[in-house]
Structure 1
Amino acid sequence: MATPQFLKTLKPFKPRIVESMQGYNSQRFLKDLGAGVTVGVVALPLAMAFAIASGLEPQTGLFTAIVAGFIISAFGGSSYQIGGPAGAFIVVVLGIVNQYGVANLIACTLMAGALLFLMGLTGLGSLIRLIPVSIVIGFTNGIAVLIALSQVKDFFGLNIDTIQGNFFEKNWALLQAIPGLNWSAFLLASISLAFLFLWPKLFAALCKGRTESVFPKMLQSVPGSVILLLVGTLVSFGLGLDVETIGSKFGEIPRSLPTLALPSIELASIQTLIGPTLTIAFLCAIESLLCARVADGIAHEKHDPNQELMAQGLANMASPLFGGMPATGTIARTVTNIRSGGNSPVAGIVHAFTLLIIMMVAAPLAFHIPLAVLSAVLMFVAYNMGEWREFPKLKQYSTIYKVIMLATFLLTVVVDLTVAVQVGLVLAGVFFIYRVSTLTEFIPIYLKDEDRAKGIVAYKIYGSLFFAVVGKIENLILNTKKSTQVLILDLHQTISIDTTALEGLEELNAELQRAGHTLVFCGLNNQALSLFKRSGFAAQLLPGQIQEDFSSAILHAHAISIEDQAGA
């Protein structure tokens, strides 16, 4: 039985780990083991912080990092990608939780996972790369600002409930609550944030003159956020600071993964969840493939974008079944993996098991972690996430680039991520169409005196003939003089023609015929000639109206002129 044609176009399911296992040995495993443990430790505070900032319980982030992190590494298209909860999802998930509830967040994540898998299976992973960098930078910076704003409450220890409303209402509520800030929380968060910024210099100072000591090497493998988590918790607990902690807000973190549970999805609510589902899928695809490209640049390896999307899809279908949230590739953890010696997807699998072991052994210790410290970690993440240097560099770019980037950034911050990306894509499309239309030129061809005397006029068309340049075709009708006998259009440098432009050419031909003129085409490429024939336009033309080259077109124009004179 023959294989259906559509099945032949589907991309194969080929996880990178299969290729990576060729020639795998104990030496490579030890490198992956060290990198995986390091990344697992790095992911610990971030996973909890991202979940809390998203309006979920801290264990949700851990479950996501363990389950989704394992699947993304085991089935992904990159040797280095580390998956889990990401800062980019904070704003999206928080909005879905506040508007639709946790149950519908699970439904959205499941549907987004299925959509991501289909995107990879059908080869759409390559198309994600076509999104302009101005849009990516705009919404990335916008998300970074929103992450920072979402942490103001815990950073200042403000005693207010979850804030509802639009951007201005939320920030007005925060400003009104500032006089009642908790000075203990504010000072702890401020010192924590300063520590994170100063940690590289502090580490360098501690290691100065101790190059032979084991201490610097041990300290180097521990990220500043983990040290901050330990020290901040000890200081808060030891001094008895009156600050909100994970335990006081969420209770104890469980020591094991929850049992697999199928969610109950109401079919009636699916329609209302299409928008959030598309947002999660789109953001996951962008973040994961952007992360994979960063990894490629560092490790000099090429990832498989379609396989990566299939893995992301599986991860986002599995994560909510175990109490998790949306997951994607994470740049900070992926870069840490590469720099720590990770050389295959095994490192990502080790990272997932490291988190599982930590959760099983040390979960009760998280009870005393201050939310102010976690808010400082997220403020630091937001700062590092943003491409802030792009704003001063805007003066170097075109007006189109500036408009798209700033519009995407402002709409992300003030309105909504989905709206921002939609508007950004529309603006990018409109500006691209305008730009391409300006590149299409109708250039008059200089003819000999004898040619002009016989009423021959010729134009060479550069670029593409499509809907945006129909006006230029219409101008040919207006600019054709009564003395013109033959109008030649040389299309050998015309890249393509669409159906709208073809209709314009048909109208041009009809108008010229009614006025007693003849239109001659020459130099058509395969695409243009095929369109002429498939549309039936070629059959409408008289013999000789399509010529192979310009010289043939001139000869045919002379023949028409002689016939007209004989007829007269």
Structure 2
Amino acid sequence: MQLPSSILIFRPSILRALRGYNRERLVHDTTAGITVGLMTLPVALAFAIASGLPPGTGLITAIMAGFLIALFSGCRIQIGGPSSAFIVIVYGIVERYGIPNLLIATMMSGIMLFLMGLFRLGTLIRFIPVAVVIGFTNGIAALIILSQLRDFLGLSIEKMPSGFFGIVSTLWTHLHTVNYYALGLALVTSLVLLGWQRLMPASGPDQPNVRGKLNIIPGTIIALIIGSLATTVLQLPVETIGSRFGGIPADFPGMTLPAMDWETTRFLFMPALTLAILCAIESLLCARVADNLLDERHNPNQELMAQGTANVITPLFGGMPAAGTISRTYTNFRSGATSPIAGMVHALALLLIVLLAAPLAANIPLPTLAAIMMFTAFNIGQWREFSRLRSYRMPYRITLLAVFLLTVVFDLTVAVEVGLVATCLTFIYRISSLTYADTVEPGQYSDIPRWNPGDMQVRQLHGALFFGAVKLIQDLEKQLPRRVVVLDLDGVIYLDSSGAEELLHLAKICHNRGITLILCGIKRQPQDMVQRVQLLQRHGVRHADRLQDALREATAMLPASALKHADTGPAADPIPV
């Protein structure tokens, strides 16, 4: 029995990566996995808290999704888990629909992702414009920074709203409640993160010096240890994970199916679609970064199916949405990872930490986590793109700024939709402006008799004759000659149904007026469309392979009076090419 080809595309990269696997590679993968696991610990806690979820949710997601994405990924060093890209969307879903419906929306997004990979739509994600990606990435980063000011300043706010105006208003009205101990601790954490980033070399752990060896230790772990020790030893009056959430569970939760409320579930389609699109963009961008590091190509469809599988299963254990993460994948590479085993070790290392060291997490101060979140958000933003806007055209500037502002002020879904629509309209305008027509003048070819332009017109079309460029044909219809129209389509690279319909309309007008329409130079794709609409079978329509053949046929149809008069001189004295 032969399996369907769509099923055969499910080929995880681990099958290829384990060929020739040996003890040395296992050591490298284990070291890399533990390093990434230590890096993931603080950000997983911070991402969950910033999303309005218990801190343990981030660890559950990092463990389950991290293991599954590594196991089924189309990229051999991809590290998956909770991502900063989801924070704004997840917080909004939790505020509006509650945590149980977040789990359902996450599972729905996982199904969408798997289907996208199954139907080979992975390459389509690459067509999302750079301006849209940069716009919403910077918008998400700005919102994360704004939302973390509560814990960074230690403000006495019971619950933060999800909208931009609500966040700004709440922060402003509670600004007088600043906890200077929390602010000082957050500033110290920020200085530690900045100092560690500046001191540690970016070239990786291969260096034979102390700094090169210390580089495998994430700065976030150093900041977390310093913040926790300072809070415990100095008895600082700041909020901790223990005081707000009661700590994190010391065991791994069992699998439970979230309760389905079909009346509410139907409203979750757009949030789930947004999660799926964000996950696809984030994961495939991460995989492309890994490609550049490894000098190889990932399987985008397999990657989408891996992300889909993880986002369907992880919510069953109470996890949040997950995706591939660039910073952790890059750290995985720098730490010496050679296969998906490193990603699986990273998940198992986190599980071991949860089982053995969960009580210690109660002492982690929230200002430290807020500083880590703001530091991470600042690093994911491509802020230099704002200063480079002057070098781009106005449509690019408008698209990027519009997506950024809409993401921050209104909603990420609206921002992406508006950005895509604006980009499509800009693309249509640019392509239509590249489509033009040249007029072949009488006497341009020495072996063709001159003709009277009032009796015969010859046009050469160039570009894509699609719905945005049919005005070329409409303009021709307004100034038709008396006897013959020759259209050279050799320069037409694409013809859509609207363009074909306009050609049919031109053929009808020509037939009604007794004018012969000759088409020539039709290439493969336009020829297929012409055959579908049976344009060449219409009355009064003829076809020639080349322009010269069409001109000979056309001039042979003209009476002598139409060949004797010409604007450029007598027909007996042709102008050479």
1:288 to 279, 283, 290: 283
Q: Distance in 2 between matches of 1:262 and 1:9?
A: 28
- Is the partner of 1:461 in helix, strand or coil? strand
The answer as to 2:268 corresponding to 1:268 is no
**Residues of 2 paired with 1:101 and 1:9: CA distance?**
36
Paired residues for 1:59-208 under 5 Å: 59-164=56-161, 166-202=163-199
Q: CA deviation at 1:478?
A: 1.5
- Matched with 2:451 is 452
C-alpha separation in 2, matches of 1:541 and 1:163: 71
Q: 1:203 to 1:165 in 2, by over 3 A?
A: closer
Partner of 1:477: 477
Deviation at 1:165, TM superposition (A): 6.0
Does the Cα contact within 8 Å between 2:95 and 2:162 map onto a contact in 1?
A: no
What is residue 15 of structure 2 aligned with on the other side?
18
SS of residue matched to 2:438: strand
Q: Matches of 1:10 and 1:534 in 2, distance apart?
A: 33
CA distance in 2, matches of 1:10, 1:323: 29
**Aligned partners of 1:506 and 1:11: how far apart in 2?**
44
1:267 positional shift: 2.1
Check the 8 A contact 1:91/1:146 in 2, yes or no: yes
Partner in structure 1 of residue 574 of structure 2:
none
**1:379-433: CA deviation from partner (whole Å, max 9, x where unpaired):** 1001100011111111111112111111111111111111111111111111001
Query: Given the two structures, how large is their TM-score scaled by the length of structure 1?
Result: 0.94
Whole-angstrom distance in 2 between the partners of 1:347 and 1:379: 27
* Structure richer in helix, relative to its length: 1
Shift in Å at residue 541 of structure 1? 3.3
Q: What displacement does 1:218 show?
A: 5.4
- Give the Cα–Cα distance (whole angstroms) in 2 for the partners of residues 79 and 425 of structure 1: 31
Does residue 552 of the first structure (1) align with residue 532 of the second (2)?
Answer: no
Structure 1 equivalent of residue 527 of structure 2: 529
Q: Displacement of 1:509 after TM fit? A: 1.9
Q: Give me the identity figure in percent.
A: 46
Residues 11 and 121 in structure 1, CA contact (< 8 A), matched pair in contact too: no
Secondary structure in structure 1 of the residue aligned to 2:188: helix
Does residue 1:54 correspond to 2:42, yes or no?
no
Structure 1 residues 478 and 178: CA distance shift in structure 2, 3 A: same
Measured in 2, the distance between the counterparts of 1:203 and 1:444 equals 66
Deviations 1:27-58 (A, max 9, x none): 01100010000000000001000000000001
CA distance in 1, matches of 2:213, 2:452: 90
Listed as ranges, the matches of 1:448-527 within 5 Å are 448=443, 450-453=449-452, 455-481=455-481, 484-527=482-525
Deviations 1:258-304 (A, max 9, x none): 01111121222221000110011000000000001011111212111
User: Is 2:33 the partner of 1:36?
Assistant: yes
Moved more, 175-184 or 89-98: 175-184
Residue 478 of structure 2 aligns to a residue whose secondary structure is: helix
Corresponding residue for residue 207 of structure 1: none
State the distance in 2 between where 1:9 and 1:231 align: 51
Measured at CA, do residues 10 and 509 of structure 1 come closer, stay the same or move farther in structure 2, by a change above 3 Å? farther
- The CA distance in 2 between the partners of 1:498 and 1:31, in whole Å, is 54
| Equivalent runs, 1:370-449 vs 2, <5 Å | 370-448=365-443
C-alpha contact 2:442 2:452 (8 A) present in aligned 1: no
Distance 1:203 1:477, change over 3 A: closer
- Does residue 345 (structure 1) correspond to residue 340 (structure 2)? The answer is yes
Instruction: Kindly state the Cα deviation for residue 2 of structure 1 after the two structures are TM-superposed.
Output: 8.3
The runs of 5 or more residues in structure 1 that have no matched partner are: 205-210
Distance in 1 of aligned mates of 2:273 and 2:226: 41
CA contact (8 A) 2:243 2:362 kept: yes
One-letter identity of the residue aligned with 1:120: G
CA distance in 2, matches of 1:194, 1:364: 27
- The aligned counterpart of 2:42 is 45
Contact 1:10 1:122 in 2 (8 A): no
Question: Secondary structure, in 3 states, of the residue corresponding to 1:153?
Answer: helix
RMSD over equivalenced CA pairs, Å: 1.9
CA contact (8 A) 2:91 2:162 kept: no
- Contact 1:442–1:462 (8 Å) recurs in 2: yes
Matching residue of 1:231: 226
Spell out, residue by residue over 1:239-266, the C-alpha distance to the aligned partner (whole angstroms, 9 max, x if none): 1111110000111211221011111212
Conserved? CA contact 1:44–1:355, under 8 Å: yes
CA distance in 1, matches of 2:352, 2:166: 42
Residues 224 and 396 of structure 1, relative CA distance in 2, 3 Å threshold: same
Q: TM-score, normalised by structure 2?
A: 0.92
Q: Answer yes or no: is the 8 Å Cα contact 1:40–1:354 preserved in 2.
A: yes
Q: Which range moved further: 90-99 or 260-269?
A: 260-269
| Distance in 2 (alpha carbons) for counterparts of 1:114 and 1:516 | 59
Aligned positions of 1:352-371 closer than 5 A: 352-371=347-366
The alpha-carbon deviation at position 124 of structure 1 amounts to 0.5
SS of 1:381 mapped into structure 2:
helix
Deviations 1:432-477 (A, max 9, x none): 0100000001111122184323722111100011101122211111
Aligned to 1:255: 250
Structure 2 gaps of 5+ residues are 202-206, 563-577
Distance 1:352 1:540 in 2: 67
Alpha-carbon distance in structure 1 between the residues aligned to 2:472 and 2:159: 57
Is the contact made by 2:459 and 2:486 (CA closer than 8 Å) also made in structure 1?
yes
Q: Deviations over 1:86-127 (max 9, x none)?
A: 111111100100011000000000111111111111101111
Which deviates more, 512-521 or 459-468?
A: 512-521
1:352 counterpart SS class = helix
Distance across 1 between alignment mates of 2:370 and 2:556: 83
Offset, 1:500:
0.9
What number of residue pairs does the alignment pair up?
Answer: 553
Residue 539 of structure 2: aligned partner: 541
| Counterpart residue type for residue 255 of structure 1 | A
Would the alpha carbon gap of residues 212 and 19 (structure 1) be closer, same or farther in structure 2, given more than 3 Å must change? closer
> What letter is aligned with 1:550?
L
What CA deviation, in whole Å up to 9, does each residue of 1:127-163 have, x standing for no partner?
1111111111111111100110110110011111223
In structure 1, what residue type is equivalent to 2:451?
R
Task: State whether residues 511 and 539 of structure 2, in contact with CA within 8 Å, keep that contact through their aligned partners in structure 1.
Answer: no
Distance 1:473 1:212 in 2: 70
- In the TM superposition, what is the alpha-carbon distance from 1:563 to its structure 2 partner? 9.7
SS at match of 2:442: coil
Residue 240 of structure 1 pairs with residue 235 of structure 2: yes
**Could you report, residue by residue, the CA deviation over 1:196-254 in whole angstroms, capped at 9, with x for unpaired residues?**
112234558xxxxxx987x6565332211101111111111111111110000111211
For 1:303, what is the secondary structure of its paired residue?
Answer: coil
SS of equivalent to 2:253: coil
Which residue is equivalent to 1:208? none
Deviation at 1:11, TM superposition (A): 5.5
C-alpha separation in 2, matches of 1:169 and 1:200: 34
**What secondary structure, in the 3-state scheme, does the structure 2 residue paired with 1:467 have?**
coil
> Contact 2:507 / 2:538 at 8 angstroms: preserved in 1?
no
Instruction: Choose 263-272 or 194-203, whichever is displaced more.
Output: 194-203
